[in-house]
């Protein structure tokens, strides 16, 4: 189950089916899908002369002797652009490849008729379905690049819902997996995705008729971001996750143009483990280990680079050797410069924003039950002018997630401190939005282990026994616990019901699990999956996990999604049920956040 290899195989098969030199037309999504697994240089080796966008005909020159391969998603917009292309063709022949099933319903069947009608010259040579409708971040992580997935909870049809179902079905077909579907029954999003994916599998029974290579059916496990709101709020200290949190990764590309002190020649960097051995070896290492390896990388570059101090003393053989080594020297220099630039930016932000100090408090809030200490630590940082307002707000959000039911909750005081720091009411409203989204009454799992006496006791006993490498990486995502339960057959069937497969013969203990998180996943969870797969391999167990989600979030994009989902909360106010502490849908107004506010105390 190597997603990058699968996607590269599709590209090579498509280009191999179109003999000779060709132009490749893509849409906005397939352009990124291809770009994440195949470079322009590699496309040249497949005889792809040019790559262009289907919708942009303005700069396209006529090449009547050139063939054209079209790889696009099956959408109304792409069909319209394709018909425009065929009515005024620029190429001698067209080979159409759609990234997903073209005819899952009557409406899409009409698209084929429209394409045939537009092809008056009979230039379309073939039409194929290629099941590559997802973004392969690496061999075990994928995304659908849908940053706003709120409509998934709605009952009416919505394009985001269709995109999610299309993406998951495409993934299953590309991997040739007919799964048992397990889903979080308390999540409207997970329920809807599970039922629609299950229905699509039944509808496309012929496509899913392939033989399973393993005795145990794979599991498609559908979760909801709501169950673990802590993970996307925490600062990260591993290379990949830290890059995404502090700068941002978009389709494996990092934009340094807005970072102070950046150089114009390295404004955009590509982080691809397939083509960058240093990144492949270090993406899951923490900041301290990364710094040591960066120094070693620089030392190795300096040692391997031939230096001729005086050209008059250099022999012809030395000069010839130097010239031959120039491409490799440039490659090594590019790799070194890229990673040094990233680490320099990490160091700058770590020092100016006091990231280590705030991260330690974040980890304590996530992992330790000590309200008095938490209040003191958070208050100290809120008073510190070097802590940015955004970092201060996230501290308050994490604090309130853990201590929302504490009768001495200091939310009112902390919000007053945030106001003093210049945080405006729309930003303060994020407290209410987060509680509406993932407050204690909304979650099925006790992520803080503080709901009952036994849970608190388990938390207290295990804390000193944890194998913690450092205080900045104490937190473990909820996903780790769920995966352990899944591979031991211990998932509660009342929380995780099943669609498909046989229910006889005891609990299902899978060998392969595909996790999809509605509302987005994170690079910390990708690290969790990587470690899980490594541990399984070391234990000699032939098991494998793949992780995907609607989007790959950092703290900024996660809060942006909450902001969009709960637009009705425009002031620093939340409606509470007077008995249960539920959100607006739970009952009457009993308490307010902000505006001077008051501590939330269940009445």
Give residue 110's pLDDT.
85
What is the arithmetic mean of pLDDT over 576-586?
A: 37
d(CA 160, CA 196): 13
End-to-end CA distance of the chain: 52
Which domains are assigned to the chain? 3-130 (3.40.50.2060), 138-228+477-557 (3.40.50.1910), 239-352 (3.90.830.10), 355-468 (1.25.40)
Mean pLDDT of 382-392: 95
Structure tokens at 550: 């609607």
Say if CB 270 and CB 578 are below 8 A apart: no
**Residue 157 CB-half CA count within 13 A:** 1
How far apart, in whole angstroms, are the C-alpha atoms of residue 359 and residue 317? 55
Using the structure block, give the residue that is written with the tokens 């470690």.
531
pLDDT of residue 266: 75
CA geometry: angle at 95 spanning 92 and 98, to 5°?
A: 150
DSSP secondary structure letters along 22-41: EEEEE-HHHHHHHHTT--HH
Q: What is the pLDDT of residues 185-215, one digit of tens each?
A: 999 999 999 999 999 999 998 899 877 666 7
Amino acid 403: pLDDT: 95
* CA–CA distance, 375 with 431 (Å, rounded to integer): 17
Residue written as token pair 């320099």: 344
Structure tokens at 460: 């207290």
Stated length of the chain: 603
- Residue 506, pLDDT score: 58
Residues contacting residue 590 through CB under 8 Å, at least 6 positions apart: 576, 577, 578, 603
Residue identified by tokens 């390896």 is 293
Point out which residues pair with 521 in neighbouring strands: 552
At 487-508, the pLDDT tens digits run 999 999 999 999 987 554 556 7
| Token output for 39 | 């470079």
Average pLDDT score, the chain: 84
Tokens 């690079």 sit on residue: 523
**Residue 459 reports pLDDT greater than 90:** no
Backbone angles phi, psi at 438, to 5 degrees: -145, 35
DSSP state of 212: P
Query: Considering the chain, what percentage of its residues have pLDDT values greater than 70?
Result: 81
Q: What's this model's pTM, rounded to 2 decimal places?
A: 0.87
Q: What is the pLDDT of residues 264-289, one digit of tens each?
A: 667 788 999 988 999 999 999 999 89
Each residue's pLDDT tens digit, 409-429: 999 999 999 999 999 999 999
Crossing angle of the two packed helices 555-565 and 425-438, in degrees rounded to 10: 80
């Amino acid at each position: 189950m190597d997603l990058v290899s699968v996607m590269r195989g599709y590209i090579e098969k498509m280009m191999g089916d179109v003999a000779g030199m060709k132009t490749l037309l893509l849409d906005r999504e397939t352009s990124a899908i291809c770009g994440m697994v195949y470079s322009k240089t590699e496309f040249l080796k497949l005889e792809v002369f040019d790559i262009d966008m289907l919708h942009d005909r303005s700069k396209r020159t006529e090449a009547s002797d050139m063939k054209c391969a079209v790889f696009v998603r099956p959408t109304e917009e792409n069909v319209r652009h394709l018909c425009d292309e065929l009515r005024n063709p620029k190429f001698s022949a067209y080979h159409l490849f759609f990234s997903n099933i073209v005819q899952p319903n009557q409406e899409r069947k009409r698209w084929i008729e429209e394409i045939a009608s537009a092809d008056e010259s009979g230039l379309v040579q073939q039409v194929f379905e290629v099941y590559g409708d997802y973004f392969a971040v690496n061999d075990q992580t994928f995304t659908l690049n849908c940053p706003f997935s709120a409509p998934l909870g709605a009952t009416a049809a919505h394009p985001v819902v269709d995109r999610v179902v299309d993406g998951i079905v495409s993934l299953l077909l590309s991997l040739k997996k007919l799964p048992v579907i397990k889903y979080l029954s308390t999540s409207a999003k997970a329920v809807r995705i599970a039922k629609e994916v299950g229905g699509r599998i039944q509808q496309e029974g012929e496509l899913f008729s392939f033989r399973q290579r393993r005795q145990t059916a794979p599991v498609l496990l559908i979760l909801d971001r709501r169950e673990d709101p802590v993970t996307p709020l925490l600062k990260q200290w591993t290379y990949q996750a830290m890059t995404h949190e502090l700068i941002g990764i978009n389709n494996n590309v990092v934009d340094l143009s807005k970072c102070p002190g950046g150089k114009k020649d390295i404004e955009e960097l590509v982080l691809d483990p397939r083509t960058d051995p240093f990144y492949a070896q270090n993406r899951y290492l923490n900041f301290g280990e990364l710094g040591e390896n960066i120094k070693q990388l620089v030392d190795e570059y300096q040692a391997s680079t031939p230096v001729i101090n005086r050209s008059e003393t250099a022999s012809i053989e030395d000069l010839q050797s130097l010239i031959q080594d120039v491409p490799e020297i440039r490659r090594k220099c590019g790799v070194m410069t890229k990673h040094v630039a990233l680490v320099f930016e990490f160091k700058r932000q770590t020092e100016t924003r006091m990231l280590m100090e705030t991260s330690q408090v974040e980890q304590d809030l996530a992992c330790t039950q000590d309200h008095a200490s938490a209040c003191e630590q958070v208050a100290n940082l809120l008073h510190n002018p070097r802590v940015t307002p955004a970092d201060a707000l996230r501290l308050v959000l994490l604090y309130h997630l853990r201590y929302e039911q504490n009768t001495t909750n200091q939310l009112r005081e902390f919000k007053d401190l945030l106001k003093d720091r210049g945080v405006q009411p729309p930003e303060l409203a994020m407290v209410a939005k987060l509680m509406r989204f993932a407050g204690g009454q909304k979650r099925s799992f006790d992520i803080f282990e503080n709901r009952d006496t036994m849970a608190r006791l388990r938390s207290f006993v295990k804390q000193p026994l944890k194998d913690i490498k450092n205080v900045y990486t104490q937190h473990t995502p909820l996903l780790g616990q769920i995966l352990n339960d899944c591979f031991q057959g211990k998932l509660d069937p009342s929380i995780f019901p099943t669609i498909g497969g046989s229910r006889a013969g005891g609990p299902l203990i899978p060998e392969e699990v595909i996790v999809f998180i509605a509302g987005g996943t994170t690079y910390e969870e990708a690290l969790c999956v990587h470690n899980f797969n490594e541990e399984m391999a070391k234990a000699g167990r032939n098991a494998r996990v793949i992780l995907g989600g609607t989007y790959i979030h950092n703290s900024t994009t996660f809060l942006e999604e909450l902001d969009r989902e709960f637009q009705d909360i425009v002031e620093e106010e939340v409606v509470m049920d007077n008995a249960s502490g539920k959100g607006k849908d739970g009952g009457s107004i009993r308490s307010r956040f902000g505006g001077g506010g008051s501590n939330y105390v269940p009445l």
